[in-house]
Structures are given as C-alpha cells and as structure tokens.
Amino acid sequence: MPNLYNQLADHVAQGIERGIYQPGDKLPGIRQTSSSEGVSPTTVVAAYRHLETEGYLESRPRSGFYVLPRRTERLAEPAISRPTPQPNPISGQSLVLRLLQNINRPGIVQLGANIPHASYLPNKAVNRALGSISNRDHDWSSRYEIPPGLSRLREQIAKRMASRGCLCHADEITITAGCQEALFLSLKSVTEPGDVVAVESPTYYGLLQVLEALGLKALEIPTHPREGISVDALADALNEWPVKACVVIPNFSNPLGTLMPEDQRQALVKLIDRHRGLTLIEDDIYGDLSYEPRRPGVLKSLESAGNVIHCASFSKSMSPGLRVGWIVSAPLAERLSYEKFVSSCAVPTANQLAVAHMLSSGKYERHLRTMRSDLRLAMLRLIDRVTQHFPDGTYLTRPNGGLALWLELPEQVDATALSTLALEQNVSIAPGPMFSPTGKYRNCLRLNAAVEWSPRVEQAIKILAAMTRASAATSG
C-alpha cells in the first residue's frame, strides 16, 4: 500500500494536471490540508516537498507552496540573429513614444513596456523612506545634489559594486536620472556625431533613441539568445569599420533575456582591450533580477585598461518613478559630472536620499529575494501560456532573469500590424522592428512577464495567439 504522503502527492498532482490548481496558485496551507485530508501535518509537508522535487511546486519562505507552470519544450529557441553588417543612421523612433504613451491608459493589458507592475516593487518601503526624509531632513528641498551626486548614495553603490568583484571609489560614480540618461551621457562623452557604435541585434530600443539623438550610426552585431553578442562577428566588424563604442547588456538583456556566459564575457573584454580608442559600455539595469540566488558579475570587473563604462539603475528593481541610476568610470568621472550638470543639473535630492536609505537599511536586498522569486514564477507562467496557445512555427527565448520574453512568430506574421490589432483589443505589445535600427525582426515581438496576473492577462495571451494563427493562415 502506498505511503500516505505518496497518495496525497498523487492527488494534488492530478489536480494540477486537470487544471484545478493553476500555475501561480497558492496551495491550501499545511494545517488546512491536514484537516481536510485527515492526515498529519508531517504527511502534508512530505507530499508537498515530493511535488517540489518533481517540479510541480515551488516553496516560498514564510508564504507557502505555489504551483509551477508545466514548462514544455514544444516551441524551440530562436537562432542567432543575422543583421546586415554595416553602420546605419537611425530614424523613426517615434513609434517607441507612442507605445509608452499607452502605459497609463486605463483598461490596457500592459504586455508591451518592459516595466514591472507595482505588485513586484517595494512601494510601501520607498514611500516610508520618502516620508521619513521629509520629517528628518528638513532642508532637502532647498538644495541641489550637484553632480556627481549624493555622497552617501555613491558610497552605498560602491559597496554593491565591490560585491560584484568591481573595486571602485565613490568618486568614480556619477548619479543619473535612470539608466537611459546614463547611456546618453556615456556615449556623449566618448563619441562625436557620425561615429559608429556597435550594438547587439536585437537591442534595447531606448539605446536606439539615444543614438538617434546624438547623431550616431548603429552597427548591428549578430546576437544569440544564450551566448549574447557574437565576439567573433564583433572582431570582424572592428577590423572593417571605425567603431568608437560598443554597448551590450550582458545580464538578462532586453529584449532577448540573455545571460552572457563567463567565457564570452572575458573574450569580449579582451577584444575591447586590443583596440585603442574603443569603449565598451555595459548596461546592467537587469543584473539584480536573476532568478537564481547568485547575482551575475559585471564586465567592469574584468577590465584592465579603464575602457569599460558601467551603467545601471534601480528603475526595474526598486522604483521606476524615482529615476535613480548611475555610471562608473574613473577616467571619465569629471567629464561625466560636467555633462550631467549641463544636461539636467541634478537628480532630485529626496530620490537619492530614499534610495540610499533602502540600500543602507538592507531593505532593498530583502525585497530582491522576494522579487526574484516572483519574477521567476511570472516568467515560467508566461512561457507556459505562450507554449500552450501559440502555433507551431513560433520560437521563444527562455530567460533566467529580467522581465523580457522574446517571440519569433511564423514568418508570414507582421508584428507591427499585430500590435495595432492587439491595441484595438486593449492589449499592448512591443513589435520586433522597434529593436532594430534597420527595422528587422518584422515577425518578432517582446512580451513583459512582470505583469499582475489575472483572467484579463490570460485572455490577452489567447487573443494574441489567435491573431497570430489567423495572420499566419491568411498570409500562407
């Protein structure tokens, strides 16, 4: 006769397979299940732990056991990209603004903008920090934190950089209004209009906006969902074109979600070191959002010649509204402070004080533990639904951190037209051409996993899948 915990485990597993318990649902508590099933709490714990090892459940400290998506491999991963190997000027980035203007429209299911829903963020802790600042620091509103920014905040960031293997002084750090400004100021400091900048392909559309604003040309480099930017292809490009800078997102890139392997990181930094006058700009905005307990390192820790600029922000992991980011670069620290002052004078004092408090108090690290677990479940759930509903011929990435899921749809599908139709159904997505200076990735799109899951989101995925099927069938 099977053990009681095996019987209970089989019963719960059948409930999951039949859809009684949906991915993301919290199972009844230990005491409740013990009472309803007439077994001991020890038996319930043993059953739940067994289902955890079988991949049905995830235990979350001080919260309970949650149902994991039944992740399948029916849909394959996209291949390495094949962009045109020549520099191109950038234009037409107004589509991005139109997408983002839909963020706050009531009734829209926000799968387009790569912004975490408020439920993933420590809003109460941030608001308490802001309130405490108002009560304790009465003169904060009457002073600028002139660049490089609040010393207390820069010291906290320097400690965090040290934990990633990057020893830097607080004076090497410049506080910025988010990572977008960090990229802008970094590129402005090392390039002139008309210069060539190598970028991943596909790449973050905000970077393309920055390149357009600075009058720079983008050179798309083949990029793999698991390996990141092709170092060999970049080496060939550096030999052919006068590239002044290269911008990469090594940790959970946007939009592919790539975590660049260690050997590729080292090869990339060594390649940059061999080319005098070439700067590597690292966008690490998603580095804190690993689904694993260990945070990945940074490219800045591997440099030897001071030619890596590190850019990051708390906008995706703590508060989009505070707009607090930073740049790490010893050789350019003075130049960056000047450019920041000319650009926007200073980041609001209260915002810097609030972030400094979140870091020094340990509240940010405690929040990250919860957010990482929540994001992992959210991504698995989104992958599960896409796999379940989208047609054969769809490819998707499988990130291990960050917010973004990249889909390559059947080649007949026009993702921009799909986004227009979806918006009419109150569903926002980000079509692939936004992530290329040459309008590539016509049949691709990016989805944001960090949404508040609800029946409306579930229905939105089904709507997108149905539209994709219809478009593929009509075009075929």
End-to-end Cα, the chain, rounded Å: 56
Q: What CA–CA distances, in Å, run from 72 to 14, 161, 182?
A: 18, 37, 38
Q: Are strands 279-283 and 243-248 parallel, antiparallel or unpaired?
A: parallel
Do residues 62 and 23 share a domain?
yes
Residue type, 80: I
Q: Is the pLDDT of residue 375 over 80?
A: yes
Do residues 179 and 100 share a domain?
no
Do residues 271 and 149 share a domain?
yes
What number of other Cβ atoms are within 10 A of residue 373's Cβ?
A: 18
3-state DSSP assignment of residue 230: coil
Query: Is 28 a domain residue?
Result: yes
For residue range 379-425, list pLDDT tens digits in order.
988 998 999 899 999 999 999 999 999 999 999 999 999 999 999 99
Do residues 201 and 249 share a domain?
yes
Do residues 246 and 346 share a domain?
yes
Mean pLDDT of 340-364: 95
Residue type, 403: L
Query: Is 284 a domain residue?
Result: yes
Query: pTM of this prediction?
Result: 0.88
The rounded percent of the chain whose pLDDT value lies above 90 is 76
Domain membership of residue 377 as a residue range: 88-119+366-475
Do residues 262 and 372 share a domain?
no
**What is the number of domains present in the chain?**
3
What number of other Cβ atoms are within 10 A of residue 219's Cβ?
A: 24
Q: pLDDT band for 171, please (50, 70, 90 cuts).
A: very high
The rounded percent of the chain whose pLDDT value lies above 70 is 96
Q: Please, are residues 150 and 356 in contact by the beta-carbon 8 Å criterion?
A: yes
Output DSSP code: residue 345.
S
CB proximity list for 277: less than 8 A, separation 6 or greater: 244
Within its chain, how far is the Cα of 308 from the centroid?
21
For residue range 107-132, list pLDDT tens digits in order.
899 999 999 999 999 999 999 999 98
Do residues 306 and 224 share a domain?
yes
Output DSSP code: residue 346.
-
Select the more confidently predicted residue: 10 or 390: 390
CA separation for the pair 228, 219 (Å, rounded):
15
Q: What CA–CA distances, in Å, run from 343 to 18, 153, 321?
A: 57, 20, 19
